[in-house]
Structure 1
Amino acid sequence: MNSSNQYREEYDTLGKIMVPKEAYYGSQTQRAVDNFQISGLRFPRSLIRVQGIIKASAALAHMEIGKLSPEMGGAIIAASEEVIEGKWDDQFVIDVYQAGAGTSQNMNANEVIANRASEILGRSQENRVHPNDHVNMSQSTNDTFHAAINIAAAENLVHKLLPAISQLELELDRKAEEFMPILKSGRTHLHDAVPIRLGQEFSGFADTIKSCRQQIERNLDVLYEIGLGGSAIGTKMNTASGYTPKVIKEICNRTKLPFREPSNLFGFTQNTNAAFRTVLSLKELAIHLIKITSDLRLLSSGPRTGLAEITLPSVQPGSTIMPGKVNPAILEMTHMVCCQVIGYETAISTAGIAGQLEINVMMPVIAHTLLQSIDLLSNAIPTLITKCVSGIQANEEICKNWMEASLALVTALSPKLGYDLASQIGKQADEENKPIKQVLLEKGMLTEELEKLLDPRSMV
């Protein structure tokens, strides 16, 4: 390498290129930086960390089967562990929107780890660690980057999103129990319906979140399939004998998760099934969160001119013009996050359509959008819990007033009076703006039996 004040010369199959002198990355990374000035977006820490895990695990496997010397393998592992820890995050510089399959991102990792490992060994020519020959030994972008998506997604689900979802489920269950004594009017089509307990309403929210959690947990199994050792198209070309089980075993040791070889390497290489299934379950969660947060906004609407059956914690002023106004800010934030996740599902599904023959080259955008979806939900849900759900209070008197004014109470009279007569009573109550019980009283129809039927407690 020829050095200057700011740059050094490097050479690859396309010729000479200038690389920042202090950079640990090399020529292929620099070409990607030059070619893809697109969004300014970079892959998240979780993916870079997993790239380090894969490279360290591969080096250990090759040491065990005699393909790397202890000295060189140890240096690669040491450099990879620095990547795992985040020491070299500033050296991962390629835009998310890059050449297909993630080749540039894989080479970014290979070059950083190779140059750092060479530095650890003393940077002599005989100690030089080559990014392709040594760090990428028995690997292809097509198996390592694909595996990195699955590993990073599984780790983020297990350690971040699923605990957050479980906590939301528990908090909604707690609120359901707290609010179970409170009777209120149910609503269908946004109009009066038969009574319900406020706690029952919240128990429905909790069970919905439980169902989403269980679906995500089921989808974890397909994420645990990683096709390391399949090489470029699943044929294991240039993969060292005995490498695959050893590299997967070490990844399991490092992540404490049950990763395994796929039943068919060609199917794994051709399709990013795990990403599709995962993002679909995230979309389902987002849809239900929108429904729940929208319900909470309706139930808390007012405080004087809406339903006002519950009160949300006040977290910040809601208007630059109306003094004292407080809006459901946390619910609005959650709704926006869910809109983004639903949009990301469309991006991943569209990318899935682009799979052709032996590979889907759209893996970079799949990786970014999947991991971003998990991160957004993992951050939004704890905020939703701590700054909103945990502090929700019931307005019991308002619930009672709305319930007693509900025309749907007439439903309880149908078995006794018949549908037609009950309908007439309900219509008269609506036209005269009177409670059902008052209309019955004025008609001389209010018997003890009917009065018991109109008791909301008998309807829930």
Structure 2
Amino acid sequence: MNSSNNYRMENDPLGNIMIPSSAYYGSQTQRAVENFQISGIRLPRSFIKAQGIIKASAATANMELGTLSPEMGKAIIKASEEVTEGIWDEHFVVDVYQAGAGTSQNMNANEVIANRASEIIGGSQRIHPNDHVNMSQSTNDTFPSALNIAAVETISQRLLPALSQLQQELQKKADQFMPVLKSGRTHLHDAVPIRLGQEFSGFAETIHTVYQQMEAKLDALYEIGLGGNAIGTKVDLQPDYTPKVIQEVCNRTNLPFRQPGNIFAFMQNMSEPIRCMLTLKELAIHLIKITSDLRLLSSGPRTGLAEITLPSVQPGSTIMPGKVNPAILEMTHMVCCQIIGYETAIATAGMASQLEINVMMPVIAHTFLHSIDLLTNAIQTLVTKCISGIQSNDEICKKWMEESLSLVTGLSSKMGYDIASQIGMKADEENKTLKQVLLEKGLLTEEINKAIDPRGMV
């Protein structure tokens, strides 16, 4: 019933409510919009796509089982596929911080698909968001399943390729820089020599290890609880619904989703997002270490270590002309700080599981999926705008290495620790090189000279 050109009135168990006339969503979504004007943040495209996949798969299974007419089923499938493609994203309007468990988000999908399917089918029948689109489903099984589908697709198609690219680029730099000798450093003080390529090989292997951990964690996300219904008891479901709907999801994604080993454990907990987020946190910690090292190694260019040069991507100061900062490394560090905070948010939300369900699923979904996107985008930018363009400053590396007092380590096996220490301390006090002190003491033999040759220490 139209009250104006801009709004239509709908009725639900709570009474009448006005909805924008152009909106495909309905009364429950509108109530959520009015109740939860919190952040303006919506669940991402990947999640909405997964909702469309689930609704199309459920309609297909219900048609095959004879509980949904072919005419209605085909209209729901077409509307759901349009949701999967992103055609109706602007009609998914519920804030992330909404009613617990994601009921509003599920109803947003149900109402958009129902209204669009009714439009497709024409005036012969009205497709109901609960009775038809949500048939054989509950928010409690579809929401965590949509999260897992979205996470699997995003991790496998975006994050893992980005990690692989980063590892390969770091290894390429390791190979390129292997001939470059330099001073190692522990406690930010001089240590025995190392190859610049060896440093970079450590970075590369660290990323490779996280890649393997993320790949292993991915397997558990293939468990989706469709058919669990409200609490896992499969109330009012046809016996063959669960295998049929999951197989249809597999068909539509070309991914090996499967039933959980225990449906009640799946319904009660958000275990896999929690575990995967721990790996993302570890990745963030390693990226902070790597980017911090690169900032130190590139510090200067005149008053720092300056052993490597980063690509210049933008001016670094509003007051100091010509200054260029490690902007990409700083951005990556900021993203990683956010990820570490996000892991805490998911951990505390995970503690909110009570009895048969975790009602914090919307914030877990947003935080987890946003973390994957943030890290993917940051890593891709890090590779293309920083790592691939790093150059070594061979002469500066050589200079610091030759001036390093840690070369005295090579004397320990020849003169003993105490005498070697005295020589090192004298060189430091008098601001001389080890060779100068050894020469003054008449100790610089061919054997001793060879002992403090950096090339013999790497």
> SS at the partner of 1:192?
strand
Letter in 1 for 2:409: T
Deviation at 1:240, TM superposition (A): 2.4
Equivalents in 2 of 1:65, 1:453: separation in Å? 81
Residue 231 (structure 1) aligned to one of 222, 229, 232: 229
Q: What residue is the counterpart of 1:12 in the other structure?
A: 12
Equivalents in 1 of 2:103, 2:123: separation in Å? 26
Letter in 1 for 2:388: S
Deviation at 1:239, TM superposition (A): 2.0
Equivalents in 2 of 1:406, 1:150: separation in Å? 53
Deviation at 1:384, TM superposition (A): 0.4
1:381 aligns with 2:379: yes
Q: What residue is the counterpart of 2:288 in the other structure?
A: 290
Equivalents in 2 of 1:363, 1:93: separation in Å? 17
Question: For residues 234-273 of structure 1, what are the structure 2 equivalents within 5 Å?
Answer: 234-273=232-271
Equivalents in 2 of 1:21, 1:458: separation in Å? 79
Deviation at 1:258, TM superposition (A): 1.1
Equivalents in 1 of 2:243, 2:181: separation in Å? 59
Question: For residues 189-338 of structure 1, what are the structure 2 equivalents within 5 Å?
Answer: 189-338=187-336
> SS at the partner of 2:381?
helix
Residue 338 (structure 2) aligned to one of 337, 340, 345: 340
In the TM superposition, structure 1's runs of 4+ consecutive aligned residues that sit over 6 Å from their partners are: none
> SS at the partner of 2:358?
coil
Equivalents in 1 of 2:236, 2:138: separation in Å? 9
Runs (5+) with no aligned partner, structure 1: none
1:418 aligns with 2:413: no
Equivalents in 2 of 1:433, 1:228: separation in Å? 72
Deviates more, 1:64-73 or 1:268-277: 64-73
Instruction: Please give the per-residue CA displacement for 1:152-179, whole angstroms capped at 9, x wherever unaligned.
Output: 0110000000000000000000000000
RMSD between superposed Cα atoms in Å: 0.8
Equivalents in 1 of 2:254, 2:374: separation in Å? 24
Letter in 1 for 2:264: F
Q: What residue is the counterpart of 1:41 in the other structure?
A: 41
Could you tell me whether the CA contact under 8 Å between 1:3 and 1:21 is conserved in 2?
no
Letter in 1 for 2:49: R
Could you tell me whether the CA contact under 8 Å between 1:405 and 1:435 is conserved in 2?
yes
Q: What residue is the counterpart of 1:172 in the other structure?
A: 170
> SS at the partner of 2:16?
strand
Instruction: Please give the per-residue CA displacement for 1:104-157, whole angstroms capped at 9, x wherever unaligned.
Output: 000000000000000000034xx1111011110110000000101111011000
Letter in 2 for 1:140: S
1:370 aligns with 2:368: yes
Letter in 2 for 1:6: N
Deviation at 1:2, TM superposition (A): 4.2
Runs (5+) with no aligned partner, structure 2: none
Q: What residue is the counterpart of 2:27 in the other structure?
A: 27
> SS at the partner of 1:8?
strand
Equivalents in 1 of 2:10, 2:108: separation in Å? 15
Could you tell me whether the CA contact under 8 Å between 1:181 and 1:197 is conserved in 2?
yes
Equivalents in 2 of 1:28, 1:78: separation in Å? 22
Deviation at 1:68, TM superposition (A): 1.3
Q: What residue is the counterpart of 2:352 in the other structure?
A: 354
> SS at the partner of 2:18?
strand
Equivalents in 1 of 2:62, 2:239: separation in Å? 10
Letter in 2 for 1:219: K
Question: For residues 423-434 of structure 1, what are the structure 2 equivalents within 5 Å?
Answer: 423-434=421-432
> SS at the partner of 1:94?
coil
Deviation at 1:375, TM superposition (A): 0.4
Deviation at 1:238, TM superposition (A): 2.1
Percent identity over the alignment? 77
Equivalents in 1 of 2:256, 2:278: separation in Å? 22
Letter in 1 for 2:368: L
Equivalents in 2 of 1:418, 1:13: separation in Å? 89
TM-score (norm 2): 0.99
Q: What residue is the counterpart of 1:63 in the other structure?
A: 63
> SS at the partner of 1:262?
coil
Deviates more, 1:393-402 or 1:253-262: 253-262
Equivalents in 1 of 2:375, 2:451: separation in Å? 45
Could you tell me whether the CA contact under 8 Å between 1:91 and 1:112 is conserved in 2?
yes
Instruction: Please give the per-residue CA displacement for 1:305-350, whole angstroms capped at 9, x wherever unaligned.
Output: 0000000000000000000000000000000011111111010001
Question: For residues 393-412 of structure 1, what are the structure 2 equivalents within 5 Å?
Answer: 393-412=391-410
Deviation at 1:64, TM superposition (A): 1.2
> SS at the partner of 1:364?
helix
Count of residues in Structure 1 that have an aligned counterpart in Structure 2: 458
> SS at the partner of 1:429?
helix
Q: What residue is the counterpart of 1:107 in the other structure?
A: 107
